[in-house]
Amino acid sequence: MDFSFSEEQHQLQDAISRFVQGDYSFERRHKILKSADGWSREVWQGLADLGVLAMNIPEADGGLGYGPIETLLAMQSAGPALLCEPLLDSAVIATALVRDFGSPEQRAELLPAMGGGERIVVLAHTEAAGRGQPVWVETSAKKSGDGYLLNGHKAVVSLAPAADELLVSARMSGQPGEADGVAVFRVSKDAPGLVLKAFKTLDGRRAADVVLTDVKVPAASLLGAPTTSATAAIDRALDIGLAALCAESLGVMEATVNATIEYLKTRQQFGQPIGRFQALQHRTADMLLHLEQSRSMAYLAAMHCNVADDTQRRKTLSAAKVVIGNACRFIGQQSVQLHGGMGMTEELNVSHFFKRLMAIELSFGDTDTHLQRFAALTQRDIPLAA
């Protein structure tokens, strides 16, 4: 067993930490959030220059060919900066899907451009009624002439407004909840019939509901080969994304716990630092327990997100999301509580950490969804007769 990181991995971690500390201060982020787009191309290019956008792209496709551990380190290091750029959405999830499911031509066209920062691609998959279940696709794709007509509604697609193109999942046959019959299409954001209802989210990012009404796409926009259902590939890409989200949350939680400890040491009430009160010491100790349990699960998730065995992979990732979802809530809430009135202000970073942790808890299926998925998957393990 070895929990240490290589020299190269440490360098990546340091580079990203330096970048976000230098180029992504709290004030800079605030300005970016207030701008019309709510994210920054300049920052995006900076991330490309660091190689972060190419880390999940194989060397054969012009990338760095790193693995999930590097993604873990990158996301964890970027976490405290609360980036409002589509790092998770484009550089992790969409990249994984194109890499693992795209045709050689699509890979050649998209991956180098995505890795270089020139093209931003976001997966538009989740639907309101799905409640975090990856196979719930109601959006339909019907053959029409030499292409397809897409109709449907994708809910709260994170960073869709920043994307140049969307990867839209749609059902060619079967019912919502069935694994077969789902395909993914490349759809340009300005395709006629596609409406982006863009909005800000509580954690400061941009997102959109994507409404497709008879959006006509050519046959070549189908991702991968038309014969295989895309659900397995989407599921894997989402699990890679979920592992990266766990890593990001780890970075946010570390920053939150540190900020709280720092505050307890400096804030004076009753003639002493409030950190002297045992009630608060124990609460902070509990925050640390949550953090360390989350760290373990974020590592485990990173190491399992590529496992081919669906059951084993899903079990581990659901377990990680449950531990981390609970930790996000506890650490977020307590950090505000222990800061007293100050914790409620927009001016302090803890309130922004709190909101990001809240959003993380709600994304990719909430704690209940994963608890139930884990229970369903592990029930099968019990020998029924003694």
Ligand X SMILES: Cc1cc2nc3c(=O)[nH]c(=O)nc-3n(C[C@H](O)[C@H](O)[C@H](O)COP(=O)(O)OP(=O)(O)OC[C@H]3O[C@@H](n4cnc5c(N)ncnc54)[C@H](O)[C@@H]3O)c2cc1C
By the rule CB under 6 A, 281 interacts with ligand X: no
Q: Which amino acid is at 91?
A: A
Site for other proteins in 300-319 (CB under 8 A): none
Nearest-approach distance from CB 371 to other proteins, in angstroms: 7
What six digits make up the tokens of 377?
């998957």
By the rule CB under 8 A, 75 interacts with other proteins: no
What six digits make up the tokens of 314?
């899903």
Of the two residues 66 and 364, which places its CB atom closer to other proteins in the complex?
A: 364
Question: Which residues, listed in sequence order, are joined to residue 122 by a DSSP beta bridge?
Answer: 166
By the rule CB under 6 A, 303 interacts with ligand X: no
Interatomic CA distance for residues 160 and 223, integer angstroms: 18
Q: According to the 3-state scheme, what is the secondary structure of 55-89?
A: CCCCHHHCCCCCCHHHHHHHHHHHHHHCCCCCHHH
Among 177, 180, 218, 310, binds other proteins (CB under 8 A): 177
Of the two residues 229 and 260, which places its CB atom closer to ligand X in the complex?
A: 260
Among 36, 279, 384, 386, binds ligand X (CB under 6 A): 279
Among 16, 187, 338, 360, binds ligand X (CB under 6 A): 338
| Locus of tokens 């999940």 | 56
Among 154, 295, 313, 355, binds other proteins (CB under 8 A): 355
Question: Which residues, listed in sequence order, are joined to residue 316 by a DSSP beta bridge?
Answer: none
By the rule CB under 6 A, 269 interacts with ligand X: yes
Of the two residues 104 and 271, which places its CB atom closer to ligand X in the complex?
A: 271
**Nearest 5°: CA angle at 314, between 354 and 137?**
85
CA dihedral over 252, 253, 258, 260, signed as positive or negative: positive
Interatomic CA distance for residues 222 and 199, integer angstroms: 28
Of the two residues 3 and 270, which places its CB atom closer to ligand X in the complex?
A: 270
What six digits make up the tokens of 353?
């950490």
Nearest-approach distance from CB 60 to other proteins, in angstroms: 36
* Residue number, nearest CB to ligand X: 340
Of the two residues 140 and 296, which places its CB atom closer to other proteins in the complex?
A: 140
Of the two residues 91 and 359, which places its CB atom closer to other proteins in the complex?
A: 359
Q: Do β-strands 206-218 and 147-158 pair in parallel, antiparallel, or remain unpaired?
A: antiparallel
Give Cα 70 to chain centroid, integer Å.
15
By the rule CB under 8 A, 33 interacts with other proteins: no
Other C-beta atoms lying within 10 Å of the C-beta of residue 81: 23
By the rule CB under 6 A, 247 interacts with ligand X: no
Other C-beta atoms lying within 10 Å of the C-beta of residue 38: 20
By the rule CB under 8 A, 144 interacts with other proteins: no
Question: Which residues, listed in sequence order, are joined to residue 222 by a DSSP beta bridge?
Answer: 185
Interatomic CA distance for residues 286 and 330, integer angstroms: 9
The CA-based diameter of the chain, rounded to the nearest angstrom, is 78
Nearest-approach distance from CB 268 to ligand X, in angstroms: 8
Question: At residue 159, what are phi and psi to the nearest 5 degrees?
Answer: 60, 15
DSSP state of 356: H
Among 6, 266, 345, 378, binds other proteins (CB under 8 A): 345
CB 139 within 8 A of CB 154: yes
Span from 18-26, 139-147, 294-302, 349-357 in contact with other proteins (CB under 8 A)? 349-357
Of the two residues 236 and 355, which places its CB atom closer to other proteins in the complex?
A: 355
| Dihedral, 362, 91, 84, 131 alpha carbons, nearest 10 | -20
Span from 2-10, 42-50, 62-70, 329-337 in contact with other proteins (CB under 8 A)? 329-337
Of the two residues 207 and 247, which places its CB atom closer to other proteins in the complex?
A: 207
Q: Which chain residues interact with other proteins by CB under 8 A?
A: 126, 128-129, 131-133, 155-156, 177, 197, 199-203, 207, 209, 268-271, 274, 277, 279-280, 329, 333, 336-337, 340-341, 343-347, 351-352, 354-355, 358-359, 362-363, 366, 368, 371-372
Q: Which chain residues interact with ligand X by CB under 6 A?
A: 267, 269-270, 274, 277, 279-280, 337-338, 340-341, 344
